[in-house]
Structure 1
C-alpha cells in the first residue's frame, strides 16, 4: 500500500516533521510505501477565484508544485497522513491551503473532475499533531475537521497521534514517546481498527474476535 505524508510546518526540523518521519519509518517497516512531502515545497499561493483564475483549458493557472503533488502523489495513494503543529487551535495555513486547493480539481469546471472525485474517496486518513499546550481539547478542532473531511470523501479516519513540545525537536523529551507512537501508528496504519458506526451499521456484539 502507498501513503502520502504531508508535513505542513515551515520547520524542516520541527516537531511535526519528526512525527512525519517516524510514521514513515513505521509504514516502511510494515512493508508499505510512504513518501513525505513538505507543503512549502509544493504551495506558493492560496486558492483563488477559479472563475477568474482558471485557464481556458480548465486547468488551474497557479504555477507551483501542487498539481503534481495532488494528482501524481495524493490521488494514487491508498493512505494520507497530515502532520501539522497546532496554530491558534487549528491546523497550519499550509495544510488548510492544501485542502482548499483541491477544490480547483473537484469543481465541475475542471476537465477531469469526475475522475478526481472518484480517486479522492476511500482512503485511510491519519493525523499527526504537535503542540505546546496539553489541554485535552486543544486539538479538537483539527480532529473534527479531519473527521468531516473523511465523512465527506467516504474515507476512513484512522486516528491521531499528538506530541507536546515547542522548541524544535522538543517532543523527543515528551515522556509519552510521541515519536514511538507515531512509528507504531505508521506500522499499523492499514491494519488498525477504525470504526464510524451508524445506527443501522451491521455489527456483532463484540469488538474483538
Structure 2
C-alpha cells in the first residue's frame, strides 16, 4: 500500500472560531475522508516576527536568528507536504499579514546564505496548491490580488494551483449560511486535492481535442 499523501492546511487568520478557520476545517475533513494525511496549522502559533535583513540577522552557522517557531512550521510541515491549502481572510483586498509573513520568511531558508538552501528550494517545488478565502464582500474583484499572488507562487515553484474556494460572511460562523455553500466546496477541495484535473496550457503544450475523458 502506498503512503498517504500529506496535506498542510495553513490558516492565516488569528480567529480560531472564525469563517476562515471553519472553511479550513472543511478542507481538512474532506482530505481525511479521501485518505490524505491532513495537518491544520494556524500561522500565528508559529510566526511572531517579520522577515529581517538576513545579512545582519543570520547566525554564524547559517541558521535564522529569529526566535519563533517558523522553522518548525516550514521545515517539518510545509516542506514535506505534497500539497498545501492556504486559508486566509481578505484584509484590505490582500491576504492576511500572517499569511504574507509566511511567504516572506521562507526566504530565510532558500536564500543562498542558508547552508541547505538548494535542498529547501527543491522541496518547495512541485506541490499541489489550493486557496481558501473568507470575505464579507461578494464583489469578485476583492479576491483577484490574492489569487494572482498564489498563481505566481505556484508558477515560480513549478506547482499546480488546483482550486480556490471563497466564502462570504462577516459574523463568526456566518460563512456556513452563504447560499453558494462554500463549506461543501472546502470539503470537496480537500477531498480532490490530489485527483482534481489541472490544466495550464502553453502554446506548445501537447493536448487532445477534449478536456474530459469520454
State the TM bucket, normalised to the shorter chain.
over 0.9
The secondary structure found in structure 1 opposite 2:38 is strand
Unaligned 5+ segments in structure 2 are none
**2:61 match:** 57
Residues 9-158 of structure 1 mapped to structure 2, 5 A cutoff: 9-158=13-162
SS in 2 for 1:137: helix
Distance in 2, Cα, partners of 1:197 & 1:137: 24
Structure 1 residue 202 displacement after superposition = 1.0
Distance (Å, rounded) in 2 between the aligned partners of 1:164 and 1:47: 31
Q: 1:203 aligns with which of 174, 184, 207?
A: 207
For normalisation by structure 1, the TM-score amounts to 0.99
Distance of 1:208 and 1:22 partners within structure 2: 27
- RMSD over equivalenced CA pairs, Å: 0.5
SS in 1 for 2:141: coil
| 2-structure distance, mates of 1:30, 1:195 | 22
Off by >3 Å, runs of 4+ in structure 1: none
Partners in 2 of 1:45 and 1:196 — Cα distance? 36
Residue-by-residue CA offset, 1:29-62 (whole Å, 9 max, x unaligned): 0000000000110001000000011000010000
Secondary structure in 1 aligned to 2:163? Answer: strand
Residue 11 of structure 2 is matched in structure 1 by 7
The TM-score, its normalising length taken from structure 2, stands at: 0.97
Offset, 1:102: 0.1
